[in-house]
Amino acid sequence: MNLHNYILGRWTPHEGAGIPQYDAVTGEVICTASSDGLDFAAIADFARQTGSPALRRMTFQERGRMLKALALHLNEIKEKYYPLSYRTGATRADSWIDIDGGIGTVFAYASLRRKLPDTPWYVDGEQAKLSREGTFIGHHLMTPKPGVAIHINAFNFPIWGMLEKLSVNLLAGVPAIVKPSEITSFLAEAVVRDIIASGILPQGALQLICGTGVGILDPVGPQDVVTFTGSAETGRMLKTLPSIIEHSTPFNMEADSLNAAILGADAAPGTPEFDLFIKEVRREMTAKAGQKCTAIRRIIVPEPMVDAVQEALARELVKTAIGDPRAEGVRMGALVNREQAGEVRRRVEMLSAHTPIVIGDLVEFEVIGADKNKGAFFAPIVMLNEKPFHFQDSHSVEAFGPVSTIMPYRSIEEAVELANMGKGSLVSTIATFDENTAREYVFGTAPYHGRILILNRESGKESTGHGSPMPLLVHGGPGRAGGGEEMGGLRGIRHYLQRTAIQGHPSMITAIGGVYQQGGRQTEAAVHPFSRHFEDLFIGETLTTARHTVTEADIVNFANLSGDHFYAHTDVTALEGTPFETRVAHGYWVLSKAAGLFVQAKKGPVLLNYGLEECRFTKPVYPGMTIGVRLTVKEKTAQEKRDETDVRKGIVKWLVDVYDETGETVAIATILTMVKMREQ
């Protein structure tokens, strides 16, 4: 079978013989893949001219709902991918990480729409006041790049590696060209076929190259974004291509690294932390047969515990049944192909010159349900580096399989130094119940790591583990790990957006950004805005309320009602040395009174108070002062119905400006209400 490339809106068979893709268990040829003869410039232009305008017209809310629909669709049919995944050597548990993990990431990014506006762009951060009178301000606008994201992915996670990147660029409004590894692209192709057939994505939003993709980066420009996952050597080569350098094209690199796990000196045998440490190392060595960019390659333990760790790890690894992922009892499958197995063997032989193998064997091991000589099977291997500061290959040579090295340390300072000798890692773990040890390790190693897991008895039960990047946290690391960041929630979206400083009058910035800017034009509401449906409210619509003169009784009554008898509100004899002239009103009374002034009591489209986003008390309020409120529509975000019984509604953000008789603001807040839409 020949894999097809999905380009220019159609599935296209490849030219030539193609690259064979093998079943990791049987060694049989599954299919061939090729990108020979493809016009990468035309493919990129199709994404920019067709996919980009369609996505850029959509709001963040629409893109988020598109991702939700895609995640639901893939989740319904995900079982069809498992038999294909087994052919990569992955067990059911391994495949779950790739398949369900990938779909889960799409769900996570779909949910992020709730933190974004109902516009194709958004204003970021706070307003910058650039003039005395407030008629000239600045803000930052985040707009989707009108280019294409080119994703070059590794062989180990054909589905997760693709979906975790696509989730981010699609929510941002940027189309993608996906180039999975030519070793396992048969699995990525199966998923893309279902995505395209669903019709959920607009034309041009996704294209797929199943072959080597040589030349895919030649047509990149300044509005494009390139992401790469794979070896540090290949990543450095791609990063220095003339096309990347000439256009300063953003290049996000996530490379394999020599991640470490550190056993704290307090985590002696018999403690929960020791047991968690051994379990974590075993899992990271055997999950995906160690073919993970986050796998533990260096096991750094207190010198007196080396023997105990070696013995405990040997007991655990001997339980790891190797074989056909479909066979009962198998806990570890094969490497991706025999060529990769040969490369891992060469790396082990290189390392074992100074760090002998103490657990496992390169030749003598049993395989269940398969022929060891046909599949790409490899036994877990643990080596021992008794002089890790002298024999430094352990910190620079990576065997990308079920291989790790134990090394001793004498102090936490040495443990930090050893961890950092990896010259930049995606993740490290420290197992300790001692807060001082954890603090010293984290501060010492954080600049060299993208993520640090602190593992102990309190977090162990619910910990997602050393090797699991989470959608809302960054995945990446400095130095050897590539210096890039993936995912990270909203942080990841910003990789595909251009931040532009915009300056002008608050009214103009309001009109451009779709969010009311303080000092901008306010249009007095003809009727109470709480009597208006979501669609009828407009940004800048303002209600100016009646005013109220503050009394001492207001303050005393609120103190009794709330139980807040702080001295500044109740004891005028205790104010010497404070900023207050006399008894001062509670800030929360000011906010509560403001609500009493602007709320309309009778039933209307406003369903409920959804929360308070910002609140500052900017000036003391004393008895005798008179306060009023300007309530302004600041921002609107429509919400989809949960089900057929749900009402159509949206969230409205209101700027609450509480001012005194001089016109000066005494409190400023942003409140949120849920407001019904009109019946269709």
Which residues are known to be catalytic? 254, 293
Q: Are 170 and 148 in contact (CB under 8 A)?
A: no
- Alpha-carbon distance 413 to 395, whole Å? 17
Cα distances (Å, whole numbers) of residue 326 to 73, 267, 502: 26, 37, 58
The single residue listed with the structure tokens 């806990």 is 331
The single residue listed with the structure tokens 């060891």 is 372
Q: Which helix (H) or strand (E) holds 252?
A: strand 251-255
Q: Is the dihedral of CA 46, 49, 54, 58 positive or negative?
A: positive
DSSP 47-100: IIIIIHHHHHHS-HHHHHHHHHHHHHHHHHHGGGGHHHHHTTT--HHHHHHHHH
Listed in sequence order, the residues at least 6 apart from 561 whose beta carbon sits closer than 8 Å to its beta carbon are: none
DSSP-H helix ranges across 174-330 = 185-198, 232-239, 242-247, 272-286, 306-317
Relative orientation angle of helices 185-198 and 60-77, to the nearest 10 degrees: 120
Q: Are 464 and 309 in contact (CB under 8 A)?
A: no
Tokens representing residue 247 in the block: 């256009």
Q: Are 30 and 1 in contact (CB under 8 A)?
A: yes
Q: Are 146 and 26 in contact (CB under 8 A)?
A: no
Tokens representing residue 14 in the block: 């490849």
Tokens representing residue 394 in the block: 């352990």
> Looking at the DSSP assignment, which residues form a beta bridge with residue 523?
541
> Strand 425-431 vs strand 403-409: parallel, antiparallel, or unpaired?
unpaired
Q: Are 188 and 164 in contact (CB under 8 A)?
A: no
Q: Which helix (H) or strand (E) holds 569?
A: helix 567-570
- Alpha-carbon distance 531 to 600, whole Å? 8
Q: Are 48 and 200 in contact (CB under 8 A)?
A: no
Which of 481, 399, 490 lies closest to 447 in space, CA to CA? 481
DSSP-H helix ranges across 210-305 = 232-239, 242-247, 272-286
The 10 Å Cβ neighbour count of residue 558 is 19
Q: Is the dihedral of CA 327, 460, 335, 90 positive or negative?
A: positive
Quote helix, strand, coil % in the chain, to nearest 5.
35, 25, 40
- Alpha-carbon distance 499 to 52, whole Å? 18
Listed in sequence order, the residues at least 6 apart from 204 whose beta carbon sits closer than 8 Å to its beta carbon are: 9, 46, 47, 49, 50, 51, 52, 54, 175
DSSP 404-422: EEEEEESSHHHHHHHHHTT
Q: For 343-495, where are the E strands, in sequence order?
A: 357-359, 381-384, 403-409, 425-431, 449-455, 474-475, 486-487
Q: Are 16 and 36 in contact (CB under 8 A)?
A: yes
